[in-house]
Structure formats: C-alpha cells, structure tokens
Amino acid sequence: MTTAGDIMHRGAQWIPAHETLDRAAQLMRQLNVGALPISDRNERLCGILTDRDIVVGCVALGRDPSKVTAGDLAKGTPRWIDANADISEVLQEMKGHQIRRLPVIENKRLVGMISEADLARNLPEDQIADWAESVYAKTATH
C-alpha cells in the first residue's frame, strides 16, 4: 500500500496566520514553493496560502502586502490528509475538493505536502489523467 507519507515531499513549513504576505512571499522564494500551509497560534492548519492568492487577493486590489496577513486570506475549511492514508484517499480528497496541494499531517504536526508534481512522479498516467480531469475540468468554469 502506497501512503501519503510515501509520496509527499518533506520539509513543508507553516506560515503563521499573523505573518504578512511580503514575508510569506519571501518564504515561498526561499523554499522554492508556490503554497504554504497557514497555522494558527496552536500550530493547527487554518488555511493554505498560494502565490496566486497574494497576487489576486492583495496586490491586484492595490493592498499593501506588508500590511495584509496570511490569516486575512485564509478562507474555507482547510483540507489535509494523514501521513498513513492510502493513495486512493489522497486522490479522493484532492479530487473531491478540487485542490492541487494537500498538507500531510502526522501526530497533529505538519510533516509534508503533496503537490501535482508529487502525484506525477508517483502515479500511473491513467490515475494522473483522471485526477487532472476532475480538478481542472470543474475549476475551468469559474
């Protein structure tokens, strides 16, 4: 059985909800990632911040990224997966919620992230195609 922990990339880091978006962008550059899980003061997942969120939800609106926090852009119910979850559960979670990145949690702590690239490296082409069709077909109409 292949698990979330088997395919995730380790080294994911939180951005605290109180951190500003300019700091989030710097951390994304430093880690070479396009998304960061947002944590509350108890290091619990409260959202995910993407580079697109920063552009669309802040910069394009004329807001100052040094004054807007990651928590300001956190919305909806954050999705995550347990490190021991089977890959079929990973796909179900990502397809069912139309998401492209999924934090991996173990013992209530962030241990990694699963991205499109992780799926592409670890799944057969037919599963990747099915996932992409589910995620992109529905979001393309928005």
Nearest to 129 by CA among 116, 142, 111, 139: 116
What is the number of residues in the chain? 142
Domains of the chain: total: 1
Residue 140 banded pLDDT, cuts 50, 70, 90: very low
**Cα(75)–Cα(102) distance, integer angstroms:** 15
Range of the domain at 112: 4-139
List pLDDT tens digits, range 73-88.
988 788 999 999 999 9
Three-class DSSP labels, 64-78? CCCCCEHHHHCCCCC
CATH number at residue 135: 3.10.580.10
State the average pLDDT for the chain: 90
Residues 97-134 pLDDT 10s: 988 999 999 998 899 999 989 999 998 888 888 888 88
Picking from 13, 12, 9, 2, the residue whose alpha carbon sits closest to that of residue 90 is 2
